[in-house]
Structure 1
Amino acid sequence: MNTSTKYDVIIIGGSNAGLSAAMSLGRALKRVLIIDSGLPCNRQTPHSHNFITHDGWRPAEIQEVAKNEVLSYDTVQWLAGTVSGVTGYNQNFEVEVAGHSAAISAKKLLFATGIKDLMPNIPSFAQCWGISVIHCPYCHGYEYRGQATGILMNNEHTADFARFIQNWTTKLTLFTNGPSKLTPEQTQAVLNRNIGIIETQITSIDHTNGQLTQLRLADGSTHSLNALYARVPFEQHCLIPEQLGCKLTAEGYLEVTDQKRTTVPGIFAAGDNTSPMRSVAAAVGAGNLAGAMIAHELINEQ
């Protein structure tokens, strides 16, 4: 990498959205630098699904193939590292990378940095996350179809989500992990669908290499399961966009237009940091669009 080069675009985050954007930009003859820390959120997920041509591949395999394809474009470069700071404005951004003395300049920025899941204080929950403790039925539901499944959830959306998951399995139990917040009507609706409700607190998860076998509860009982759906809170994996003035939505995602522009001129965002649609296919599509829109803006500003 030549740090004296002023890039057209620096992409922060080199997973699916970032790589997809880089391909669009590389094919538009734009000088691109991808900076990646090497810690994608799906790094312990064994298989990626619902992505045509790559169904069942390991996420790391998809990213390796994508990286090789993207770096075949001679205007696209890669830097392994963590961005520590950004200053500047549209057409004149300076990006600092931990361990590098010189800042790197770019006309535009794309943040494809994802989100950070905030795990509950349940032993072994994190070790099972993305393997048998799962968030998305479109990504994982087929593999656990018809199997004993739990839902760890306790809010106003719980009853609707439980009904939704019954599409994949009728062997379903709702764990509220404490006193239920469901209304009497919601509780009855869940029970009417033969979904059990357990309010006892979960104390730990038994598993083998991330594949859960049972939940241990505070009253000493256990509950055998093959899978557990959980909707955990999150925060932005990278706080720099907020520091630069990029607005967040009420849900905590970076606010973007249909063209993936943030609220700060010259800064774009794509992928999990902008949308609850957390899948490889969605990230690739968002990155592809972001790359095209950035190229369009660069061409118009020439």
Structure 2
Amino acid sequence: MKQKHFEVIIIGGSYSGLSAAMSLGRSLRQVLVIDSGLPCNRQTPHSHNFITQDGEKPAVILKKAKLQVDIYKTVQFYNGLVATTVKTDKGFVITTESGNVFTSRKVLFATGVKDLLPEIKGFQECWGISVLHCPYCHGYEVKNEKTAIIANGEMGFEFAKLISNWTKDLRLCTNGKSELTSDQTQILKNYGVLILEEEIFFLDHNEGYVKNIIFKNGEKVEVKAIYTRPPFEQHCRIPETLGCDISEQGLLKVDLMQKTNVPDIFASGDCTTQMRSVAIAVSTGTFAGAVINKELIDEGFR
């Protein structure tokens, strides 16, 4: 790649990053998208709750998106990982792991988050297929089925209330001693939620589709779907090294304009919000691109 300087460099080329790139490309901006090609939902068979794309495979949406962005000749792509990003008086110097160096005036992080999955045999294979994080994305497809939630305490209580909208055949697996209050326990029991405190041994599944939860005491529970919200961390730590604030939930803090607290650094998509869906990622990326373009215009009139 001969071009080394860009007006905007987008780190992360999944749904949010590509949406920002399209917004900026249509604004005639010189843009570079740096991406390693490993979106977090690559194992998920279908994407839902995204109008016009409901039920489509995430990989198909992503391929189509990249082809459409590639039409805009001011947008270029680089396949790889960013090693360092340094802020200077003139913008940013970005070095990739392979040693390529690029500069830009603005940077957008659309780098997502990394889920920290529990060490339960079968969990990784089922994650995104039948072990789910969001009923709005996947709940309709497993409505009224035998369903479990792996959670405890306040999160378990609230999650059970939420999922009961999609199925009444529900059990809450606390994976150890319950941390529910006595009132919470009684409320869930009144609504028919079975509370199971045994520790989970493994998930019995067929190519990612769960069949049974096997507990360490040898008991098993038949289920067709499991909901859980594992802890996560930022997929890319570079924003923190640049001084970007991180929320108590571990998300990059942005204002209503998708701006971080560091001038000229923006962020969008899953790394900024607990509402993790393709539709939200696209929305925040598109908006971030428009805001970045407006900021560049305003700077040109100073």
**TM-score, normalized by length of structure 1?**
0.98
Q: Deviation per CA, 1:239-290: give whole Å up to 9, x if none.
A: 0000110000111100001000011111000000000010000000000000
Q: Deviation per CA, 1:131-177: give whole Å up to 9, x if none.
A: 00000000000000010000000021322221111110011000000
- Name the aligned partner's letter for residue 218 of structure 1: K
Residue 129 (structure 2) aligned to one of 117, 128, 131: 131
Counterpart mapping for 1:162-177 below 5 A: 162-177=160-175
What secondary structure, in the 3-state scheme, does the structure 1 residue paired with 2:95 have?
A: strand
Distance in structure 2 (CA, Å) of the matches to 1:92 and 1:52:
37
What's the CA shift for 1:91? 4.0
Q: Deviation per CA, 1:49-86: give whole Å up to 9, x if none.
A: 00011111110100100000001001000010000110
What secondary structure, in the 3-state scheme, does the structure 1 residue paired with 2:293 have?
A: helix
Distance in structure 1 (CA, Å) of the matches to 2:45 and 2:244:
34
Q: Using a 3 Å threshold, how does the CA distance of structure 1 residues 220 and 85 change in structure 2: closer, same or farther?
A: same
- Provide the residue aligned with 2:33 in structure 1: 34
CA contact (8 A) 2:111 2:236 kept: yes
Counterpart mapping for 1:271-290 below 5 A: 271-290=269-288
What secondary structure, in the 3-state scheme, does the structure 2 residue paired with 1:156 have?
A: helix
Distance in structure 2 (CA, Å) of the matches to 1:88 and 1:113:
18
- Name the aligned partner's letter for residue 24 of structure 1: S
Residue 113 (structure 1) aligned to one of 111, 114, 121: 111
Distance in structure 2 (CA, Å) of the matches to 1:295 and 1:165:
40
Q: Deviation per CA, 1:167-205: give whole Å up to 9, x if none.
A: 100110000000000000000011010010000000100
CA contact (8 A) 1:49 1:55 kept: yes
Q: Give the ranges of 4+ consecutive aligned residues of structure 1 lying more than 3 Å apart after TM superposition.
A: none
Distance in structure 2 (CA, Å) of the matches to 1:89 and 1:277:
33
- Name the aligned partner's letter for residue 2 of structure 2: N
**TM-score, normalized by length of structure 2?**
0.98
Residue 79 (structure 2) pairs with residue 80 (structure 1) = yes
CA contact (8 A) 1:89 1:265 kept: no
- Provide the residue aligned with 1:296 in structure 2: 294
Residue 204 (structure 2) pairs with residue 206 (structure 1) = yes
CA contact (8 A) 1:31 1:76 kept: yes
CA contact (8 A) 1:128 1:211 kept: yes
Q: Using a 3 Å threshold, how does the CA distance of structure 1 residues 74 and 64 change in structure 2: closer, same or farther?
A: same
- Provide the residue aligned with 1:236 in structure 2: 234
Residue 89 (structure 2) pairs with residue 93 (structure 1) = no
CA contact (8 A) 2:116 2:231 kept: yes
CA contact (8 A) 2:156 2:174 kept: no
- Provide the residue aligned with 1:192 in structure 2: 190
Distance in structure 1 (CA, Å) of the matches to 2:124 and 2:284:
27
- Provide the residue aligned with 1:143 in structure 2: 141
Counterpart mapping for 1:47-66 below 5 A: 47-66=46-65
Structure 2's unaligned 5+ residue stretches are none
What secondary structure, in the 3-state scheme, does the structure 1 residue paired with 2:108 have?
A: strand
Quick one: percent identity of the two aligned structures?
51
Structure 1's unaligned 5+ residue stretches are none
Distance in structure 2 (CA, Å) of the matches to 1:283 and 1:91:
29
Distance in structure 1 (CA, Å) of the matches to 2:289 and 2:132:
30
Q: How many residue pairs align between the two structures? A: 300
Q: Deviation per CA, 1:196-255: give whole Å up to 9, x if none.
A: 000000010011110000011011011110000001000000000001100001111000
- Name the aligned partner's letter for residue 150 of structure 2: L
Distance in structure 1 (CA, Å) of the matches to 2:229 and 2:179:
15
Distance in structure 1 (CA, Å) of the matches to 2:90 and 2:261:
15
Distance in structure 2 (CA, Å) of the matches to 1:264 and 1:200:
46
